[in-house]
Structure 1
């Protein structure tokens, strides 16, 4: 991957990836992008990164810092410079106007609306190369890339279960199956998404807040959109409709229709925390992309299953998943030790 690139360019790409991953950037429809400008001696002239929708793109941020010194430089960028006008102007035109000599980008832009920057740069006589850091850049923007390529949000399904596969006891109580460490880890994962999604049953029975909270159980500043899906009327006094975060009631039982609406609202990552009925609906529609399971060292023997009936009657039809990570979470104040499984559907299985 590094063949043909100087050590300075390789180091600059690593730095651009670091900039792109800067903490605190709000989630939204845009990818995370970093940019580094190098002079002919491989020295860094300026750096920049994108800080969220409506703010300057990484290239514009770096060019603004460099000023006239940008002329003749090599721009090392984690994503192909855009070639369209949205809330900001095309980065390809900004690089041309600044007199940049060469552009090196990691990942091609999968968005057909914004793509074409490389061609525009070449047409203006700028040398363009791509591929260095491509895998790292795609990993950084995995969810955004998936959403753009599939024209729907990436869906992470999270649930907690006992050792015998129960999400609630026979009397309906479910607090708490998972331990405190798992619940804190769930808030960390919630913060990586821009939609929290549950069904009307969950709202009616559990009355969840669906906010991201810190270790002191206080709401953080940046909150995902809280979405409830289903046709049932709900009491507006439910906590999901309070002022802690924005909320939306999608009056549909169709997972595809729900995701289409959310994609149209520029949402790219859905965190599915609904009950077994909603989970089964998404599974049967082949719309689960990642599964996070907290397995608690508990046995109930009866009670609600973690997922509703999938119509499976024989082992050969079982839905199969591939384990990508297994972690034993250290116990918190309650002393409970849970195991977290991270899984991906096996191709053609879900």
Structure 2
């Protein structure tokens, strides 16, 4: 199952709106006969890839799969039927499918005499599929807040300069993190101050994972102030601008604007995530800036925090987190470490809220056997 989970992680960033799934087939003697993972939506599921590799050796063997085999026909047929046709005698499942459209494969297999064991390495398998599980169970995209800061928590100097606090290696890692997300979100303050592109690009000579579709760029801009010349509107990737329903939207923003309810301080972030969920956005990366991150945190909408800490001190300047900071120690936002990894001279910290009920550790950007992303198993 650990091998199946590692295989599943290879699909991160490519399978949305589907989950990532890995499968290993053992022949009756216990030798590995085939393995596979779901690589892209519309492509063959992990079980089918593994069964093709195993061929006749699958008959009477065992299939280890990270997510319950699907039991419906979408763009591909049901994996439960493929396993039955191959003559597999036993199926070991890590996570039961929470999507009612696809669930039921385990029951079908049992009715046809296949031994099914469930709940093996469930926590580990949920980590690699955290984004998709959030998307299905919570009915909204999985949200990661990324920040870069000095070790004393400063993301910019007193004069506003911030390029570059972290190393080229850390910045390359951020591009891989973007590529593993369905949408990158920034606030209008960041757009006006930094004019970012918000795209996933090779950096420091390091390629980014291939995606079936470009990462969606999202600007939270309640008063529709995004300039016509802003690089987020350059056409390099699709862009959505969330504006308040009462905002006057200029002509250059009309093709990108989505009107959302206005709330004190900006737009309704729950409504924004509902809009993205409706567009089959499974994973969201919050990149800028501290005010926007604070708003998401205040609403309890942050599932994971990825921080890049540089071995440097500023002593003054802008903090990484904005107005949502705790005013008293009893209001502190408690997190738990999931990963601490050197990236060049910097440290990458991956944390999740202690109250989180959905596994969310791991990071899609850090390689083929790490974690993050997807949507109902429907390909």
In the other structure, the counterpart of 1:88 is 76
Residue 225 (structure 1) aligned to one of 216, 231, 234: 216
Structure of larger gyration radius: 1
Q: Taking structure 1 as reference, are residues 92 and 324 closer, same or farther at Cα in structure 2, changes over 3 Å only?
A: closer
Q: 1:36 to 1:311 in 2, by over 3 A?
A: closer
What is the TM-score normalised by the length of structure 1?
0.82
Partner of 1:258: 272
**How many Å separate the matches in 2 of 1:229 and 1:113?**
33
RMSD of equivalent CA atoms: 2.8
Whether 1:212 aligns to 2:200 is yes
1:3 aligns with none
Q: How many residues align?
A: 330
* Alpha-carbon shift at residue 118 of structure 1 (Å): 0.7
Distance in 2 (CA, whole Å) between partners of 1:257 and 1:77 is 35
With normalisation by structure 2, the TM-score equals: 0.77
How far is the alpha carbon of 1:181 from its aligned partner? 3.2
CA distance in 1, matches of 2:10, 2:95: 18
Aligned-partner Cα distance in 1 for 2:77–2:242 = 34
> In the aligned structure 2, how far is the partner of 1:97 from the partner of 1:328?
47
1:269–1:96 Cα change, 3 Å? same
Q: Distance in 2 between matches of 1:14 and 1:294?
A: 28
Taking the aligned partners of 1:322 and 1:186, their CA distance within structure 2 comes to 21
The match for 2:36 is 48
Residues 57 and 173 of structure 1: is their aligned pair in 2 closer, same or farther, counting only changes over 3 Å?
same
Q: Deviations along 1:215-251, whole A, 9 cap, x unmatched?
A: 3468845342221122224234321222433322233
Higher relative contact order (CA 8 A, sep 6+): 2
Cα distance in 1, alignment partners of residues 297 and 144 from structure 2:
11
Distance, in Å, in 2 between the alignment partners of 1:198 and 1:165 is 19
- Give how far 1:82 is off: 0.7
State the shift of 1:67 in Å.
Answer: 5.0
Q: Is the 8 A contact 1:143 1:154 kept in 2?
A: yes
- Structure 1: runs of 5+ lacking an equivalent: 1-12, 332-337
SS at match of 1:82: coil
Matched ranges for 1:175-254 at <5 A: 175-216=163-204, 220=208, 221-222=210-211, 223-231=214-222, 232-251=224-243, 252=260, 253-254=267-268
1:143-191 C-alpha deviation (Å, 9 max, x unpaired): 3223322222221111122344432233332222333333223223223
